[in-house]
Structure 1
């Protein structure tokens, strides 16, 4: 499993060298966009609307727009120094709380933690302590140039880091439109709804739930792949042929040379001298 990050988790005076690995993966079926006419993949280029030209990565700088069309330019060196300063810090568990105290709306993405060299005993110590107390640790850490609030908990036999949103990243529910206030419900309606919930209540088994759309889409792709006229091969962009270009260039050079070459001077015809002319007429 690919290691995304290496660092140290600490609680109190205990330091645990760990490696972090992505716990989930996106299995969405990615569809490409093709040009309808020639079935070639569409290319997206970075362009400058003012210069009307393509911009290379080395010609791009980062900036913060503090007002309309007004920017503070941020040097990559300054950003890198700031990231390095934060990444070098150990990930310290600030608090221990109960998992049920955190609403699921805060949770973002999960990562597995494995012990790095010499960290197995401390890793096991934290895992056992969390299991026996029923608590999870709250910590801050840097992941991919972003400071994250996170919780550290036990999942099966592993420690897991779950990144969670900061409070100001969760929008105020009061901003959601058209939420009804408490509505008068009949006891019969409420009783029926509760009976339905009881009928559908079961133990959570994640293997029971499948992405039916993704499965149907993959089946459709496989079916069309085997049907005549349902597949396309992108046309290769014709690259200039150096040999042909060389011959064309030589031929053009030859033609130009012929045109530019000065015409050879015609030899002057010898004419009879004036004296000879006089003798001939006398």
Structure 2
């Protein structure tokens, strides 16, 4: 499993060298966009609209837009030093709370934590302590240049870190449109709804839930592939030296013809004969 971060998690005076691994993966089927006429992949290039030219990554700087078309440019050195300053710190567990105290709306992404060299015993200690108390740890960590709020908890026999949103990242429910304040419900309607909920109540078994759309899409792709309904993108033709030479010759010939057409005619002068011969 790929290690995406190495560091130390601490609580109190206990330090645990750990590695971070992505706990989930996106199984979305990625579809490419092709030019319908020639079935070639469409390119997306970085282009400056003012200079009207394509630009490379080393010509790009990062900036914060504080007003419309007004920016504060941030140097790469400044960002790197700030990132380094934060990454040098260990991930400290700030508080221990109950998992039920955190609403699921705060949860973002999950990562597995494994002990790094020399951290096995401390890893086991934290895992056992969290399991016995039924608590989770609240911590901070820098991931991809962003300081993340996170929780550390036990999942089966493994420590899991889940990044969670900061309170100001969760939008206010007051901004949600058309939510009624009160409902006029009869006792019969409510009783029927509660009965339906009870009938559909079951233990959570995640393996029974499937992505039907993804399965159907893959079956469609495989069926087309088996029926040889496939296409191969055309390679971009690059002219060889002979073609370039012929183009140059033809253009030179055309240029010569055009210059002859517009060239002014020269006037010619003739000497008149005198009719008398010179005698010596």
Taking structure 1 as the reference length, the TM-score comes to 0.86
Return the offset for 1:225. 1.3
Q: Name the structure 2 match of 1:232.
A: 231
Q: Name the structure 2 match of 1:263.
A: none
Return the offset for 1:121. 0.2
Q: Name the structure 1 match of 2:158.
A: 158
Q: Residue 64 and residue 117 in structure 1: after superposition, are their counterparts in 2 closer, same or farther (change >3 A)?
A: same
Counterparts of 1:73-84 in structure 2, within 5 Å, are 73-84=73-84
- What secondary structure is seen at the aligned counterpart in 2 of 1:19? strand
CA distance in 2, matches of 1:46, 1:251: 36
Q: Deviations along 1:4-61, whole A, 9 cap, x unmatched?
A: 0000000000000000000000000000000000000000000011111101111001
1:113 and 2:118 are equivalent in the alignment = no
- What secondary structure is seen at the aligned counterpart in 2 of 1:193? helix
Return the offset for 1:179. 0.4
Q: Name the structure 1 match of 2:37.
A: 37
Over the residues paired in the alignment, what is the CA RMSD in angstroms?
Answer: 2.2
Q: Deviations along 1:79-118, whole A, 9 cap, x unmatched?
A: 0000000111100000000001000000000000000000
Q: Name the structure 2 match of 1:218.
A: 218
CA distance in 2, matches of 1:101, 1:213: 34
- Where in structure 1 are there 5+ consecutive unaligned residues? 256-277
CA distance in 2, matches of 1:90, 1:35: 50
Return the offset for 1:137. 0.2
1:85 and 2:47 are equivalent in the alignment = no
Return the offset for 1:239. 2.2
CA distance in 1, matches of 2:42, 2:245: 33
Q: Name the structure 2 match of 1:177.
A: 177
Q: Name the structure 2 match of 1:61.
A: 61
Q: Name the structure 2 match of 1:143.
A: 143
CA distance in 2, matches of 1:196, 1:164: 33
Q: Name the structure 1 match of 2:130.
A: 130
1:168 and 2:168 are equivalent in the alignment = yes
Q: Deviations along 1:48-80, whole A, 9 cap, x unmatched?
A: 111111011110011111111111110000000
Q: Which runs of 4+ in 1 moved over 4 A?
A: 245-252
